[in-house]
Amino acid sequence: MTSLLIKGGRVIDPANKIDKKLDILVENGKIKEVGKGIDAKADETISAEGLIVVPGLIDMHVHLREPGREDKETIRTASKAAAKGGFATIVGMPNTTPDADNQTVIEFVKSKAAKEAIVNVLPVGAITKGRKGKELAEIGELKKTGAVAVSDDGSDVQDANLMRKALEYCRMWNMPVLSHSEDIRLAAGGVMHEGLVSTELGLAGKPAAAEEVMVAREIILSKMVQWPIHFCHVSTKGSVELVRTAKKAEQKVSAETCPHYFALSDKDVRGYNVNAKVNPPLRSKEHVEAVKEGLKDGTIEVIASDHAPHTLVEKFREFDLCENGMVGLETTLPLVLTKLVNEKILSLEDAIAKMSINPAKVLGLDKGTLSKGANADITIIDLNKEEKVDPEKFESKGRNTPFAGMKLKGKAVYTIVKGKVVFSNGNIS
Amino acid sequence: MHPRRQKLWEEIGKWQEDFEDRLIKVIGNRKLPGKNIISIDELSKEDMELVFDCTKLFKEFIIKPDKKINLLKGMSQINFFFEASTRTRVSFELAGKNLSIDTINVSGSGSTIDKKGETLNDVVRTLNAMHADIIILRHAKAGSPEMIAGQINAPVINAGDGWHEHPTQAMLDLYTMLDKRGQIEGLKVALVGDIKHSRVAGSLIRALNKFGVKPHIVGPPTLMPYGMEKVFKCKVFNHLDEAVKGVDIIYALRIQLERAAGGDIPSVREYSKSYCVNQERLALAKFDAIVMHPGPINREVDLKTEIMESDRSAVEAQVENGFALRLALLYLLLGGDRR
């Protein structure tokens, strides 16, 4: 029997509406007790005086790259980056090589994770075979093997009839569906947001409408089929408004955004900044403001990283030709704390909920709380710790971040997974 | 040597020596702001005026029987052209050669980028290791010149990057306007055609703005970039007749004949009916308005042959001025104190 006592921290557990200075006792990887002045002998004690103790954070949008592109990232390195960033659980997207459109890949990710990962790794399967949008993947088998959702992330199901069938079929298997939301014809050729900056730089733009028409379509299909839809990386004003309206009509939809959609804008692309190339693209100010408003009023209930590591040679080249995406596991929590909590857009409790209980609910996971008996996934945060983003210090193999050099305030100081301290005071164990 | 030739060489030698003195005098203590020419954004009106002053002198030079002058001997110039080009490449190459620079042409096709998958950055670092003194780059991807400029010591001249800019074209166009009209300030200019995919428009609008000129921009909405009037000082029109009313200069752009396939226009036929610069349309402009085009021209689509062949056309003057301007620019970037 191993035990861990976390003493004196401010415990914030949004699911249980707790925000109090409490102690937490962990035994055998489970939460044994949350209370005042717990007086127990434990194998290990963490003094959390002045720190924030929250449910182990969940990042529901991560590109693990393994299998296939281990030069960009592996399940092990992604899990270490997650631990350092305060995430106890990461959810891996299916655009690996081969695609996670079959049980073999899901099994591989699970077994690799069991052997090598230091945080929980949950795989997402593909909606269609090869994520080509032509035929449904074997979603029943994906479910049975342990895929927690399906998504054609990176591309999208362009055929509305197939998407309808996917939603119907997923309803039968109780399988959450994540929508990438991009009309590839409207977005064709685009490498950044279509706006004043794309005109200035002479780059082809993707209009906000390329995302919005798909969000609208998904909402309509989801209503018809009566199965929920979750929107990945929402980046536009129109998308926020569509989701807000659907929620008001009590439709079961959920939405996620990523730090770059509230912390940056298309202006950051100036100078052909390859690290600011991402899909969906960084939008103009009105969209950024709408995303913040959506976070504030709860329209967007999840914050995820869309962690997308790439090799240097894939990023450092002509803007048109470089890969989309940026790493995020090690910067997401500091960005949320700096840009949303410290700037009073979100309360600390809301911010934590969007990275713990809310994604758990979307995916139907028994996670994201500090309830008695729950797995002891716990993140401890120091709100006052200030650090400059230094890609050279990342645990991730990816160095592609537009946040390099930015000073951020607040970060994880401990990450605990099933009772085991996997990250403490800057050290991965 | 025959005494007659001897005498001619002596005259030429004297003229060239004199020419260099005149250049130095015209330049005075002025210089271009940076080592590269990548975007008009980096140049002021005064910087462009410096280029124009030198261009004017080089126009005397290019009609001399001996067009070889020892101003930049021993330097090396690499013309790195990833897209088709006739006038720009030839004029840069001739300009280099006439200034006694050793010039080399590298094209995209047949290069290690095309055949062996080498990255652009790696290739330019290779060229840098050979101590190239200047690189002229044309590339289909916007931002490429800026990217390579960060990798190498030599100056980079952008000879066209994607839909972004083609700064030397804009300067030669402004020089032509100056030459034909006496001054740029106060001119009324209409740009016609495919604005969206035009790096010529990208640089020309920026350059005109520096001289306080707010051009009329006309083309179908499908070929108009987002938010032009917010990004630049210009006025957007869709119908040509309104846009050219009373202008000094009609600047026709090239329509790529494959645009119809992409759905930007229904057909070249319909496009030419709406946007081809013809006599009736030219009659709407000022009585002595001139017509310009960056080339290559689609005759009867961009503009009518009868206009091209008339004295209203400045198309050949643009090419001639472009040659002189590139001589001037190479000298300004590599000559004098910069050497």
CA distance A233 to A210: 13
A152, A306, A377, A382: the active-site residue: A306
- Verify whether residue B116 is a known catalytic residue: yes
Collect the ranges in chain A with pLDDT lower than 70.
Answer: 1
Q: Report the predicted TM-score, pTM, of the whole model to 2 decimal places.
A: 0.94
Q: Is B199 on the interface with A (CB under 8 A)?
A: yes
Same domain for A272 and A196, yes or no, is: yes
Q: Do A202 and B139 touch (CB under 8 A)?
A: no
How many Å lie between the alpha carbon of A152 and the closest alpha carbon of chain B?
Answer: 27
CA distance A393 to B190: 54
- Verify whether residue A306 is a known catalytic residue: yes
- Is residue A145 situated within a structural domain? yes
CB A24: neighbour CB atoms within 10 A?
Answer: 25
Same domain for A79 and A198, yes or no, is: yes
B positions 253-292 inside 8 Å of A (CB): none
Q: Place B1 in a pLDDT band, splitting at 50, 70 and 90.
A: confident
Same domain for A39 and A164, yes or no, is: no
**Identity of residue A368:** G
Same domain for A392 and A357, yes or no, is: no
Q: Do A320 and B142 touch (CB under 8 A)?
A: yes
Same domain for A223 and A292, yes or no, is: yes
pLDDT at B327 over 90: yes
- Verify whether residue B254 is a known catalytic residue: no
Interface of A with B (CB under 8 A): 194-196, 198-205, 271-272, 313, 316-321
Same domain for A182 and A287, yes or no, is: yes
Q: Place B15 in a pLDDT band, splitting at 50, 70 and 90.
A: very high
CA distance A426 to A394: 11
CA distance A205 to B228: 14
Q: Both tokens of residue B195?
A: 């604005």
- Is residue A368 situated within a structural domain? no
Same domain for A256 and A107, yes or no, is: yes
Q: What class, spelled out in words, does domain B167-313 have in CATH?
A: alpha beta
Tell me which residue of A216, A271, A171, A189 sits closest to B164, measured CA to CA.
A271
**Domain termination site, one of A310, A336, A363:** A363
Residue A386's DSSP bridge partners are A409
- Out of B146, B163, B165, name the one closest to residue A271 (CB): B146
B59, B89, B166, B216: the active-site residue: B166
Strand residues in A126-246 grouped as ranges (E)? 150-151, 177-179, 192-193, 205-206, 229-231
Pick from A206, A272, A313, A321 the residue to mutate for testing the B interface (most B CBs within 10 Å).
Answer: A272
**Domain termination site, one of A310, A332, A363:** A363
Same domain for A95 and A158, yes or no, is: yes
**Taking CB atoms and an 8 Å cutoff, what residues of chain A touch B121?**
316-317
Question: Please, what is the Cα angle at B154 between B153 and B159, to 5 degrees?
Answer: 135
CATH number at residue A397: 2.30.40.10
Same domain for A23 and A146, yes or no, is: no
CATH number at residue A88: 3.20.20.140
Alpha-carbon separation of residue A389 from A84, A410, A412 (angstroms)? 13, 12, 14
The values of phi and psi at residue B75, to 5°, are: -90, 160
Residue B224: closest C-alpha in chain A: A199
Please report the pLDDT score of residue B338 as a whole number. 62
- Verify whether residue B166 is a known catalytic residue: yes
Domain boundaries, chain B: 3-165+321-338, 167-313
Q: Is B119 on the interface with A (CB under 8 A)?
A: yes
Q: Is B108 on the interface with A (CB under 8 A)?
A: no
Q: Do B146 and A321 touch (CB under 8 A)?
A: no
How many Å lie between the alpha carbon of B115 and the closest alpha carbon of chain A?
Answer: 17
**Domain termination site, one of A307, A340, A363:** A363
Please report the pLDDT score of residue A126 as a whole number. 98
Q: Place B206 in a pLDDT band, splitting at 50, 70 and 90.
A: very high
- Is residue A205 situated within a structural domain? yes
CA Rg value for chain A: 20
Tell me which residue of B245, B249, B247, B254 sits closest to B275, measured CA to CA.
B254
* Secondary structure class of B121 (helix, strand, coil): helix
Q: Do A272 and B121 touch (CB under 8 A)?
A: no
Count the domains in chain A: 2
Q: Is B93 on the interface with A (CB under 8 A)?
A: no
**Taking CB atoms and an 8 Å cutoff, what residues of chain A touch B118?**
none
% of chain B exceeding 70 in pLDDT: 99
- Out of A272, A313, A321, name the one closest to residue B146 (CB): A272
Q: What class, spelled out in words, does domain B3-165+321-338 have in CATH?
A: alpha beta
CB B268: neighbour CB atoms within 10 A?
Answer: 18
- Is residue A38 situated within a structural domain? yes
CA distance B264 to A188: 13
- Is residue A146 situated within a structural domain? yes
Same domain for A350 and A380, yes or no, is: no
Same domain for A408 and A279, yes or no, is: no
- For tokens 């006694």, the residue is B100
- Contact call for residues A177 and A228 (beta carbons, < 8 A): yes
Q: Do A272 and B143 touch (CB under 8 A)?
A: yes
- Contact call for residues B199 and B193 (beta carbons, < 8 A): no
Could you tell me how many CB contacts below 8 A there are between chain A and chain B? 60
What average pLDDT is seen over chain B? 94
**Taking CB atoms and an 8 Å cutoff, what residues of chain A touch B231?**
196, 199-200
B89, B138, B210, B293: the active-site residue: B138
CA distance A315 to A319: 8
- Is residue A309 situated within a structural domain? yes
- Contact call for residues A56 and A423 (beta carbons, < 8 A): no
CA distance A279 to A326: 10
- For tokens 């998504």, the residue is A151
Residue numbers of the domain that contains A380: 3-52+375-428
Question: Please, what is the Cα angle at A41 between A35 and A46, to 5 degrees?
Answer: 65
- Is residue A271 situated within a structural domain? yes
Please report the pLDDT score of residue B19 as a whole number. 95
Mean pLDDT of B158-185: 97
How many Å lie between the alpha carbon of A419 and the closest alpha carbon of chain B?
Answer: 48
- Is residue A359 situated within a structural domain? yes
Instruction: Fill in the DSSP letter of residue A194.
Output: S
**Identity of residue A128:** T
For B244-289, what is each residue's pLDDT tens digit? 999 999 999 999 887 777 889 999 999 999 999 999 999 999 999 9
Q: Do A199 and B226 touch (CB under 8 A)?
A: yes
Q: ipTM of the assembly?
A: 0.93
How many Å lie between the alpha carbon of A401 and the closest alpha carbon of chain B?
Answer: 18
Q: Both tokens of residue A294?
A: 């959506």
Please report the pLDDT score of residue A367 as a whole number. 97
Residue B161: closest C-alpha in chain A: A202
Please report the pLDDT score of residue B266 as a whole number. 93
